[in-house]
A and B are shown apart, each in its own frame.
Chain A
Amino acid sequence: MRLSKIGVGAVALVAATALVLTGCSAGGASGGNSNIISTNGSEPQNPLIPTNTNETGGGKIVDSIFAGLVYYDAKGAPVNEVAKSIETKDNQTYTITLNDGWTFTNGEKVTSKSFVDAWKYGALFSNAQLNSYFFDAIEGFSYEEDTDLTGLQIVDDLTFTVTLSSPQSDFPLRLGYSAFFPLPSVAYDDMEAFGENPIGNGPYMVAEKGAWKHNVDINLVANPDYKGGRKPMNGGLDIVFYATQDAAYADLLSDNLDVLDGIPDSAMKTYTTDLGDRAVNQPAAIFQSFTIPESLAHFSGQEGQLRRQAISMAINRDEITSVIFDNTRTPARDFTSPVIDGWSKDLKGSDVLDFNAKKAQELWAQADKISPWSGTFQIAYNGDGGHQAWVDAVTNSIKNTLGIDASGAPYPTFAELRTAVTDRTITTAFRTGWQADYPALANFLEPLYQTDAGANDGDYSNEQVDALFAKGNEAGSLEEANKYFQDAQVILLQDLPAVPLWYSNVNGGYSTLVKNVVFGWNSVPLYYQITKK
């Protein structure tokens, strides 16, 4: 086989050139409907089923295509959406009445059955839904076997009652969370397929079958039949999944992306000048801390309390938030978040969160009298989450103030860190954080510090705290409940089951092409309000 001239190479060259040229002429098809708002997102980790969506990537989409009983306004206050009224006399039995005339985008009417069946599906043990624990307050729920949620009773097409196994004053506040969204009956035929092309009743709907292009983007268009208070002022949403925030930010700067709800580390110092008044920096419902488990040597009983307080006072939160985070974090004053109704910056004992080297050394010395300190104090973190800088700063602060060895202990991935935390094999302190599912003090406290609670990673247990939580749940009003939760926090500030560090801010921005961009309490922009200029 003799080939003349440069042969194969030349053929390949010509072929490649042809491909490039034909490609060029086919380009330029992007753009389309100019009334579509583009925003950043990440590939949902699970099919788009409300009771199985527990992370922000999928949450953003599910919240847009479904409407629940209530939605949260920018400040986190619940506003009736499908619900006409939610009434209770004892915080235990709720009567829920729905507005008439709501439909799913396939035409099916939204009735009490749409809610009751969806909740029962989400709660059923064998359905293994990630959000099943949201239903554990409802009578009949079980973590061990398939049971019927007997607490849900349909009265008529537009009315149903919910009976809880114990009083929960903030139950109505939870109802805007995605776990409580209704489902059309077609969903139960094949839930996985439904999750690929979900049908909802929200302000937006998926543009067409296959609109979710995995790892690329999802196209949503305004739902013309939507009847609630989140009426879209734009034609739709294109949620683009970015691998890195740097890529999303570059797109924002060149007006290829309209709204961005996260700023990459590389642009933290410059984004306010890059974007001017289009930059967003406001506190969010995200609480960051590190947890020193009770099981660590020197960290139980009275000695542990003294050492935790000493460590907390040895951390200069103001300096770290300004130097490391360029003021994109707000130093913590409690265990919740400033965007939550009932937050207070002057809880009794919150001075334990102030940097006080002298007091820290005194407390550490007192603890040493009980049992002399030995070893290294370490904070474990996942290396894939950009935590190294602050962990190093915090451990340095502790090291310099207390004169002990302190350092970070990196785990390569989030999965690895969480596995060590969950099976309790971890032998150091570790970073913890909490992003609220619904805007209530209780959501920041009960899942983390109640005895045996699901996210109580440090195995903290205090009868007084448990009792105050219970009282808060039985309280007649939210104001009254908040008082009990604040009292519980006063004890937490002494015990420090987690050492509060700071609240994350939501950092974002928007392009020159859009206006009316407001970020909600949960750091997600209120997409429905955004309009094109």
Chain B
Amino acid sequence: MIGYILRRILQAIPVFFGTTLLIYFMVFAMPGDPIVALFGDHGVNEAVAQQLRERYHLDQPFIVQYLIYIGGIFQGDFGTSFSGQPVADILAATFPVTLRLASIALFFEMVVGIGVGLFSGLRKGKLFDSSALVASLILISLPIFVVAFVMQLVFALNLGWARPTVSAAADWSELILPAAVLATVSIAYIIRLTRNSVIETEGMDFVRTAFGKGLSRRRVVGVHILRNSLIPVVTFLAVDFGVLLVGATVTEGIFNVPGVGRTLYQAIIRGEGPTVVSFVTVMVLIYLVVNLLTDLLYAALDPRIRYGK
């Protein structure tokens, strides 16, 4: 088990270098000179522009820029944004917000998605099941910004239950509305995934055996059916948590959440190489960790799966 984890961590090293190199290259290859954009519609003062390029190493060839950047990372320096703020500080300020947002969204996904999915699966073909299927279909087909705008209009502007946007503090209660929006599409998938998985498991021999042994319905459903149905759902949830953690540009924009997605989007627009690459690098690391945890979770849910010796 330990060996397996160590091996996975070692594998992450080339992934880390590969992704940073790739992302750095893509930012580098982005057309348009960010320094020119700094001057706006005003004419570019070439002498000033040249000095700024030197300051941000933009006059160096690609590979030199990349090596300077990577060298900095190993000294704990993620570079600075154009507004003079260390990228590490920006990371430290935005990730907790997105983490909170993602946690709440995941909570919604688990409670609503698994709950409704289990209920539907156990009542296959009944009214509840059909309505859940139709509802999830609608949720899947709605673009997220439509859901976001509608929820903002209804819950914040019309009913006044929440602020339309998230304040600077971005505390838990303010993030409930955007998190609910973020969770909608995934909830729909989880309902369908859980439902199908429950139906499949229900027909298995061991379930019949369990009933035959005279176990209570509650115990059969809770222990035998649900736990065995959860394997595909957990995979989905874990991957989805990774997706949530790397930020949601659209939702964070609409609700003005000071999180990762919004910040990254603005950095891309401004062509701030160090900010973009550092954000993406951390996202890649999170993704790798979440994937590893997912694989370990498999073993926990299904004893037949064993890693390493």
Choice from A1, A45, A411, A457 contacting B83 with Cβ under 8 Å: A45
Evaluate contact between A242 and B256: CB separation under 8 angstroms.
Answer: yes
- CB of A326 to closest CB in B, whole Å: 20
Evaluate contact between A196 and B41: CB separation under 8 angstroms.
Answer: no
- CB of B65 to closest CB in A, whole Å: 17
Evaluate contact between A6 and B227: CB separation under 8 angstroms.
Answer: yes
Contact flag A132-B165 (CB < 8 Å), given A418-B36, A454-B42: no
Evaluate contact between B44 and A422: CB separation under 8 angstroms.
Answer: yes
Question: Quick check: is A322 within 8 A (CB to CB) of the other chain?
Answer: no
- When distances are taken between beta carbons in the complex, the residues of chain A under 8 Å from B223 are 5-6
User: How many A residues touch B, CB cutoff 8 Å?
Assistant: 79
- When distances are taken between beta carbons in the complex, the residues of chain A under 8 Å from B40 are 54-55
Cα–Cα, bound, A3→B296 (Å): 13
Give 1 or 0 for each of B62-103: 1 = CB within 8 Å of chain A CB. Answer: 000000000000000000011111000110011000001001
Evaluate contact between A213 and B51: CB separation under 8 angstroms.
Answer: no
Contact flag A215-B84 (CB < 8 Å), given A244-B253, A415-B37: no
- When distances are taken between beta carbons in the complex, the residues of chain B under 8 Å from A129 are 48
Q: By CB atoms of chain B within 10 A, which of A24, A195, A247 has the most?
A: A247
Question: Quick check: is B134 within 8 A (CB to CB) of the other chain?
Answer: no
Evaluate contact between A415 and B93: CB separation under 8 angstroms.
Answer: no
- CB of B177 to closest CB in A, whole Å: 11
- When distances are taken between beta carbons in the complex, the residues of chain B under 8 Å from A303 are none
- When distances are taken between beta carbons in the complex, the residues of chain B under 8 Å from A413 are 31-32, 37, 269, 271
Evaluate contact between B300 and A8: CB separation under 8 angstroms.
Answer: yes
- When distances are taken between beta carbons in the complex, the residues of chain A under 8 Å from B192 are none
- When distances are taken between beta carbons in the complex, the residues of chain B under 8 Å from A24 are 172-173
- When distances are taken between beta carbons in the complex, the residues of chain A under 8 Å from B163 are 251, 254, 256
Evaluate contact between B48 and A214: CB separation under 8 angstroms.
Answer: no
Cα–Cα, bound, A435→B39 (Å): 13
Evaluate contact between B168 and A214: CB separation under 8 angstroms.
Answer: no
Contact flag A415-B34 (CB < 8 Å), given A23-B100, A23-B171, A128-B55: yes
Give 1 or 0 for each of A26-50: 1 = CB within 8 Å of chain B CB. Answer: 1111100000000000011111000
Evaluate contact between A125 and B47: CB separation under 8 angstroms.
Answer: yes
Evaluate contact between A132 and B45: CB separation under 8 angstroms.
Answer: yes
- When distances are taken between beta carbons in the complex, the residues of chain B under 8 Å from A9 are 110, 114, 230, 234
Instruction: Enumerate B144-202 residues with CB–CB distance to A below 8 Å.
Output: 149, 152, 156-157, 160, 163-165, 167-169, 171-176
Question: Quick check: is B292 within 8 A (CB to CB) of the other chain?
Answer: no
Evaluate contact between A12 and B157: CB separation under 8 angstroms.
Answer: no
Choice from B33, B174, B263 contacting A419 with Cβ under 8 Å: B33
Q: How many A-B residue pairs have CB under 8 A?
A: 220
- When distances are taken between beta carbons in the complex, the residues of chain B under 8 Å from A144 are 47
Evaluate contact between A44 and B48: CB separation under 8 angstroms.
Answer: no
Contact flag A5-B106 (CB < 8 Å), given A416-B31, A455-B41: no
Give 1 or 0 for each of A247-288: 1 = CB within 8 Å of chain B CB. Answer: 110110110100000000000000000000000000000000
Label chain B's interface by main secondary structure.
helix
Evaluate contact between B110 and A417: CB separation under 8 angstroms.
Answer: no
- CB of B123 to closest CB in A, whole Å: 20
Question: Quick check: is B14 within 8 A (CB to CB) of the other chain?
Answer: no
Question: Quick check: is B255 within 8 A (CB to CB) of the other chain?
Answer: yes
Contact flag A19-B269 (CB < 8 Å), given A29-B171, A416-B32, A418-B32: no
- When distances are taken between beta carbons in the complex, the residues of chain B under 8 Å from A254 are 156-157, 160, 163-164
Cα–Cα, bound, A447→B44 (Å): 11
Evaluate contact between A250 and B48: CB separation under 8 angstroms.
Answer: no
- When distances are taken between beta carbons in the complex, the residues of chain A under 8 Å from B44 are 422, 454
Cα–Cα, bound, A125→B50 (Å): 11
Evaluate contact between A1 and B299: CB separation under 8 angstroms.
Answer: yes
Evaluate contact between A384 and B227: CB separation under 8 angstroms.
Answer: no
Question: Quick check: is B28 within 8 A (CB to CB) of the other chain?
Answer: no
- When distances are taken between beta carbons in the complex, the residues of chain B under 8 Å from A47 are 83-84
Instruction: Enumerate B85-132 residues with CB–CB distance to A below 8 Å.
Output: 85, 89-90, 93-94, 100, 103-104, 106-107, 110-111, 114
Question: Quick check: is A63 within 8 A (CB to CB) of the other chain?
Answer: no
Evaluate contact between A13 and B83: CB separation under 8 angstroms.
Answer: no
Cα–Cα, bound, A383→B122 (Å): 51
Question: Quick check: is A115 within 8 A (CB to CB) of the other chain?
Answer: no
Question: Quick check: is B43 within 8 A (CB to CB) of the other chain?
Answer: yes
Evaluate contact between B168 and A16: CB separation under 8 angstroms.
Answer: no
- When distances are taken between beta carbons in the complex, the residues of chain A under 8 Å from B135 are none
Contact flag A143-B164 (CB < 8 Å), given A242-B256, A384-B269: no
- When distances are taken between beta carbons in the complex, the residues of chain A under 8 Å from B171 are 23, 26-27, 29
Could you list 11 examples of A-B contacts with CB < 8 Å?
Answer: A6-B227, A8-B297, A27-B171, A30-B168, A46-B38, A129-B48, A130-B38, A215-B90, A244-B253, A251-B163, A434-B41
* Given A5-B227, A7-B301, A455-B42, 9 additional A-B pairs, CB 8 A: A3-B300, A5-B222, A23-B172, A26-B171, A27-B173, A45-B38, A130-B45, A196-B85, A254-B157
